[in-house]
Amino acid sequence: MVAEEGGCVEKLSPLYLTEIIISTRIRAANSNTISIAKSELKVAIAYLEAKDLAHGFVSIFLKQPKNDIGFFYTNVKASLSELESLPDSSSQLEKSNMLMKLRETLTDNGENGTILACPDGISIHPHNALFFWVLFFAFPICVISGVIISSEW
């Protein structure tokens, strides 16, 4: 499985969305047992809560549904709740169906195969605005500097 974030390959070492959240969700999606999936989702939820990734949007200007962290968090919590509501006496078929549903919830189909379903830009949240403004001002400064330097040659 390719770990991707909203269609862009996630590097597994971003500022706030570290390997913990990606690997635990991938492991939960690929789990063969309900208990493994529950434990992986608990780690992912604890990380999301510790990093305050339970609400808000990753976008700066447009509040698009694909950038909604609250929906993302709620979806992961609901998945854990469904796994916990499954009785231990459930048949193997019911458990397999629940694991397939979990996999469908946590992943999407991308160009390179199965990808992790995450909001775009979550890897740099809550610093999205800082990155935008730094790039907004740095790019013109670099272009102007390049023009000045090349005109002096």
Tell how strand 113-116 and strand 107-110 pair up.
antiparallel
Give tens-digit pLDDT for 24-68.
Answer: 767 777 777 888 889 888 988 888 888 777 888 777 777 777 778
Residue 123: which of 13, 44, 2, 42 has the closest Cα? 13
What integer pLDDT is reported at residue 20 of this predicted model?
60
- CATH topology (fold) of 4-127: Four Helix Bundle (Hemerythrin (Met), subunit A) (1.20.120)
What integer pLDDT is reported at residue 6 of this predicted model?
43
Report the run of H or E that residue 48 belongs to, with start and end.
Answer: helix 34-50
Q: Is a pLDDT exceeding 70 seen at residue 19?
A: no
Q: CA dist 99 to 74, 76, 94, Å?
A: 18, 13, 9
Q: Which residue has the higher pLDDT, 14 or 125?
A: 125
- What is d(CA 121, CA 15) in angstroms, rounded to the nearest whole number? 11
Average pLDDT for the chain: 76
Q: CA dist 136 to 15, 61, 62, 64, 129, Å?
A: 20, 14, 17, 21, 10
Q: Is a pLDDT exceeding 50 seen at residue 116?
A: yes
Burial of 135 (0-12, 13-18, 19+ CB in 10 A): exposed
The structural domains of the chain, with segments of one domain joined by +, span 4-127
Report the run of H or E that residue 115 belongs to, with start and end.
Answer: strand 113-116
Query: Residue 62 in contact with residue 33, Cβ under 8 Å?
Result: no
